[in-house]
Amino acid sequence: MNLIIFLIVGGIIGWLASILMRTDAQQGIILNIVVGIIGSFIGGVLFGPTLGAGGIYGWLSAFLGAVVLLAIVNLVRRGSLR
């Protein structure tokens, strides 16, 4: 059951980050889940010590990590941020 919740939350975080970075039309649900999960890890490493890991701050750090991940992908792919 925890795996299903983990995938759903990762998909939501990845989807929201892709809307903010305007890459939603290029991504499907699987890529949104991957971005959300990897973004959560990045957010935990970068923003976890500052924001904390629980509650709303955990969601915020996961979202910020997903945005950072998409910004890096855009820089590598196109050479510019969107």
pLDDT of residue 59: 84
Q: Provide the pLDDT confidence category of residue 53 given band limits of 50, 70 and 90.
A: low
Please check whether residue 29 is in contact with residue 8, taking contact to mean a CB–CB distance below 8 angstroms: no
Q: Provide the pLDDT confidence category of residue 38 given band limits of 50, 70 and 90.
A: very high
How far is residue 34's CA from residue 17's CA, in Å, rounded to a whole number?
12
Is the per-residue pLDDT at 48 higher than 70?
A: yes
> What's this model's pTM, rounded to 2 decimal places?
0.82
CA-to-CA separations, 39 to 59, 70, 76, in angstroms, rounded: 11, 9, 16
Is the per-residue pLDDT at 81 higher than 80?
A: no
What are 22-35's pLDDT values in tens digits? 887 777 888 888 98
Please check whether residue 68 is in contact with residue 42, taking contact to mean a CB–CB distance below 8 angstroms: yes
